[in-house]
Structure 1
Amino acid sequence: MTDRPRQPDPTRRHPRPEFPPQSQEPPGSTGEMRPRPDHGEDSYRGCGRLRERRAIITGGDSGIGRAVALAFAREGADVIFSHLPEEAAEAAETTRLITDAGRRAVAVPCDIREEDACRALTDRAVDEFGGVDILVNNAAYQMAQPDGIEQITTEQFDRVMRTNLYGMFWLSRMCVHHIPAGGSIINTTSVQGYQPSPHLLDYAMTKGAIVTFTQGLAAHLAPRGIRVNAVAPGPVWTPLIPSTMPDTTGFGAKSPLGRPAQPAEMAPAYVFLASADAGYVTAEVVNATGGSPLP
C-alpha cells in the first residue's frame, strides 16, 4: 500500500504566536515584519482560471492585496493595482511578482479617499488594458483605540470611512460601465463586520456596511451578468497589524486555529469568486475566519 501525501495541519501550517514585539508607523512595511508574511510566492500554482482577464485591485502593494495580485497573475490575469505614494517600494515587489508570472502589471500611486483618484485609476485601467473584468475593493485603513469611542477623533473616523467605503463606492460606480457580463466585483469585508471589537469600532462599522453594499449591489447588477461577492477574513498577518495595533505579540492566538492567517491563505477565495467556477455565486460572503462562526 502506497503512502498518501498528507494534508498540512492548519493549526501548524504557518507561524503561531507569540510573535516578537514590533511596532511600525503606518502604512507599515512587509520587510520589517517578523515573521515575514507569506503571499504565496513559493506555493501558489495557477491553472489558467483567469486567462486574459483584466483586474483592478486596490491596496495591491502588500498583504491580502499582494497575495491576490500574485494569484490572479499566475491564473493568467493582467493586474493594475493602487498603492499610496509612500508604498512605492512595496508596490515594486508586487509588480515583480506579476511580471515574473508573465502578465502585465501597472502600479498606480493614488489615494482612493479622493474621487478624482478613483476616476484616474479606472481610466488608467481602460487605457492600459482596454477594459475591466474584475474589480477587487481591498484597500482599508484602521487604527486601534484601546480606550474606545472617546479616543476616535473625527480625523481618524473620516479617514476610515473614506478609505473603506467612499473608495469602494466610487470605484464600483465607475467600473460598472466597463465590466462586461461574466465580470465580477469582489469586496473585502471582515469578521469585524459581524463580531466588532470595541477598539476597532469605526473600522468594524465599515466592514458591516461592506456586507450590505455587496448584497445590494449584487441584486442590482445580476441582470447584467455581473456578480458581486465579498471575502470576510479573520485575523491576517499584514503590515496593517504592527502599524495600527499597540501589541501584536499574541495576534491571532484567540482564533480557533490558534494563529493568524497568512495573506496567501486568503487569495484562493478571491480567485474562486472571480472565476467562471463561481458563475452561480453572487451576493455571497466567503468567510475565512479561522473557525470563528459567523451568521
Structure 2
Amino acid sequence: MCAATADWNLWSTSAHLVVTKPSVLARAERMTRELTEAVDLACSRFRDDSELSILQSAPRFGAPAPVSPVLADLIRAALWAAALTDGAVDPTLGNDLLALGYDRDIARLDPPADGDLPVDITVGLERRSPGRRRVLLDGDRLTVPDDLRLDLGATAKAVAADRIAERIADELGCGVLISLGGDIATAGPAIDAHWEILVQDTQADPAQQVALPSGLAMATSSTRKRRWSQSGLPRHHILDPRFGLPVEPVWRSATVAAASCLRANALSTAAIVRGTDAPAWLASAGADARLVDRDGRVVTTGNWPAEEAQHSAAQHAAAVGHE
C-alpha cells in the first residue's frame, strides 16, 4: 500500500492530507477544501459574510435565532467541549479576544514583542461567572446574550478534521490522515496499521516520533504559536475563561491522543488553561498526553509512549504542523 499527499495554506496555518489510494488524492483534496470552506463560512469571526458574524452583528441577537445545520453542529461541539473540560474551554470569549487586539487574522497582527509573557497576570482579579452556561441551542434555535460574543476557534478546526477524515474514508474507500494546523484526524486503514507522527511544536522543543493507530486522532495546543503584540505587550490566544486573559505559559505545548480530534483538542486546550494542575487532571480523565513545560521538560500521562520508545519514520510519516 502506498500513500499520496497534498499540502496547502489554510487559516494562517497549513493543511496536510494523506490518502492510502493515490488515485483519489485530487478528489480527497477537493472534498477537504469544500468542507473547510463550509466551516469558515459558518463561523469565522474574521469574515463579515460568515453566518456567525452576521448573527452577532444583528440587533437583538439575544433573542432566539435560527442557524444552519453546519453552525448548529459547530456550536453543539463547542458546548460539549466546555462541558467535558468543566469550562476550561469556553466558546464565549470573543469579546475578550477583541479587547486583547485579536480582531483580525493572526497574520495581520503585530508580531509578538520580545521576551516572554508575564507570569500570571490574573493575580488579584475577581473571577467572573461562566458565559458558556448562558448560551442555549435548542435544535436550530440559538440564543446568546447580547453581552457575549462567540468564538469557536478552539473547536471548529478539530470538528472539521473529524468530519473530513470520516467522509473521505467512507466515500473514497481509503485510509486518510488530515492535519489542519496540527489538529489530526484519521480514518480507514493506515499503512502498517498506524500513522507515524512527529510530535514537535517548534524547532526549539523536544521531538518525539510516535505511532498513532488508525482511527484515532491527535491535537496540540501551544502558547508559543498564535502570538501577537498589543501596545508592546506579548499576547497569546489561549485565555483563562475565569478572567478573559491569556493563561500563564506553564506549558509550552500540550498534545493529546484520543478517539476524536474534538476530544483531543478540548483536552489539550484545557491542559494549557489548567497550568500546574494539568497532569493530575489529564490522568483523572484517562488521557494519553504529552506536556512540554516552559523549560522544555516533558511530562506524560496515560499510555503516552516513553520518550525512548520511539518509532522510525516511514515513507508516510506525517509531521505535526501545530497551530
**Superposed pair shares fold, TM > 0.5:** no
* TM-score (structure 2 length as normaliser): 0.27
TM-score by length of 1: 0.29
Give the structure, 1 or 2, with the largest relative contact order (CA under 8 Å, sep 6 or more): 1
The structure having more radius of gyration, on CA atoms, is 2
